[in-house]
Amino acid sequence: MAVLYKGTQTSLGRPVAIKVMKGALADTPQAHQMFEWESRIVARLDHPHIIRVIDRGLTADEMPYFVMDYVEGLTLREALKQRKLSDRRKLRIIMQVAKALGYAHKNNVIHRDIKPGNILLDREGNARVVDFGIARLSEDTEMSMVGEENMTVGTPAYMAPEQKQGAALTTSASDIYSLGVIMYLMLANKLPKAGYPPPSHFNPKIPGSLDKITMACLAPEPERRPSADKLVALLLQALKGAHLKQEEKAQAQESFKDPKEKFRLLDVIRETPFGDVCLYENRQDRSLMVLKKRIGNFKGYEEAEILSRIKHRNIINVRGVSRNDRIFITILEYLSGGSLQNRMAQPMAPDSFLLVADQICDAMIFAHNNRIIHGNLRPHNILFDDTNTVKVMDFGFAPHYESSVEENWYKAPGEPALAQADVFAAGVIFYQLLTGALPEWKRGLLQPCEAFSAVPQHLRTLIKGMLCLETAVRIQSFEEVKQDLHLAEPEIDEATRTRIKPPSPARRRRSPLRSVAMTLALVLLVGFNGALYFWLFQNQSADLHLLERLLPAATSSQDRLSRPDSPAAEPRAPVEQELALRRVSNPKEK
């Protein structure tokens, strides 16, 4: 479909890979669409184990191209042919591809062609998933379903059973099946076939736990296969750190002294110049915990110590804190759902956004009520557990951006760490979630992007109030933010509105005797008024005092018949009642 070139990005002087569609496909609309689709999908993804798109465009002869990071190394297919991969390196590759798929699936992207030829290995042995040419967004029905009913995509040896029946039946579970085939191939040195035994039949060194995981990925029924996140968790507990490099283990042991060996290192989640994050398993009860180390900076210690004693469902459980003259260690619960940053490759729908925003507000209200300021709120430190419950972490931690060339988008310039600064940071996150872009300001005023206009009006008003650069004008508390999140009722499209008609207000049944009495009273009233006006017409010199005394009585009788609590009055419609109540309870609403 394309030709791949090695080039140089002249502005930075670094090597890049340039993918150009073949000229023979110039008159094939499907090829143009697929090529365009690949560059759009990969450009949305930002993960260390997925190849990154840098730029895209058209050549002089109108052929599309896009530019990617250049990886010096070889494909997994070539590495398996050379038979030079150690067992540890194989396990490391499996873990990294599983993490890459977990990230892609969280953003509704299905690869649909996971195979050794689409996994690049750099010189350090790290894996990068490439070639999203036939990938699709699982929720984008317009692009994914057109022309797929009678089409099969993928590489037959690695395709799931449902994928062979048609591209439209492909799901994220199909990617897991393909990875299961790769796992079987790497562990048993054979491609699996129907009726084949587990990999340990061909390689006795393979533990039984890894056997079970591989065969679960190869289950014929998609619903029996683990999700990518579940697969990562199963692999971590089965491998028990066997995929880690020796230097990673040594560095972790230096940070966390465990002379009685109560805990086992399972994974190194992140390494930075400021510290690292590692996953451990308690050998006794097999519970998991995360150990976060900070070097030479003790900001956040007091906040972590307080949060180790008080709990909230939307704040990560701090199990303990410790420090010495050089490092500060926080022990946290393990959350398998990843971070909010991993779910931001495309904008969120308003209903999904509200679920996340509500829980962020609850966490921040609890923290501020306990005099805890976050000071560095951003998508990286908002996590999810396996039930998709939001968990905020890193309260009080120092931002890395103060000494970095990277701009801190989540903090107003020169503003100290106060509650209003946390509101501003949340406003940036909310803007990102709904638009897929970072906010921009010009002369102190927010310059909304095009996607912002599609956001519901009450949310636009709220976010603008959160993003005021002047602290005094900005929304002051998360209580107010949470209240304003739900000012407007959910919008209902016309098709739904015609199907769901509000019930007509129920009329009160009147007894026959009561109806007769009301009719008689009305006849007497009309007759009395008629006689009165006839008499006045006949005798214009009538006493005006008598008229003034009689007219109020007649008026009050008519008023009684027209009151809302009168049997003859129409009951107020529920929608009118609700609007009246909202006008009283929301005096600011216009």
Neighbours of 64 (CB within 10 A): 20
Contacts of 33 (CB under 8 A, 6+ apart): none
What token pair was written down for 316? 């990560």
C-alpha angle 101-336-208 in degrees, rounded to nearest 5 = 75
* Residue 130 buriedness (CB in 10 A; 0-12 / 13-18 / 19+): buried
Alpha carbons 188 and 199: distance in angstroms, whole number: 5
Alpha carbons 33 and 28: distance in angstroms, whole number: 9
Confirm whether 113 is a catalytic residue. Answer: yes
* Residue 118 buriedness (CB in 10 A; 0-12 / 13-18 / 19+): buried
Residue with tokens 């002369």: 443
Among residues 548, 553, 492, the alpha carbon closest in space to that of 525 is found at 553
Q: Is 478 helix (H, G, I), strand (E, B) or coil?
A: helix
Residue pair 329/293 in contact by the 8 Å Cβ criterion: yes
Alpha carbons 47 and 228: distance in angstroms, whole number: 15
Alpha carbons 484 and 285: distance in angstroms, whole number: 44
Alpha carbons 164 and 548: distance in angstroms, whole number: 93
Alpha carbons 417 and 415: distance in angstroms, whole number: 7
Alpha carbons 408 and 97: distance in angstroms, whole number: 31
- Catalytic residue, from 113, 175, 211, 394: name it: 113
Alpha carbons 282 and 265: distance in angstroms, whole number: 9
Output the DSSP codes for 1-28. -EEEEEEEETTTTEEEEEEEE-GGGTT-
Alpha carbons 474 and 586: distance in angstroms, whole number: 19
Residue with tokens 């915990």: 289
Neighbouring C-alpha atoms within 13 Å toward the C-beta of 52: 10
Contacts of 491 (CB under 8 A, 6+ apart): 456
Alpha carbons 533 and 308: distance in angstroms, whole number: 85
Paired residues of 288 in beta bridges = 281
Alpha carbons 65 and 67: distance in angstroms, whole number: 7
* Residue 202 buriedness (CB in 10 A; 0-12 / 13-18 / 19+): middle
CA distances from 329 to 304, 333, 394, 403 (A): 10, 13, 12, 22
Which residues are known to be catalytic? 113
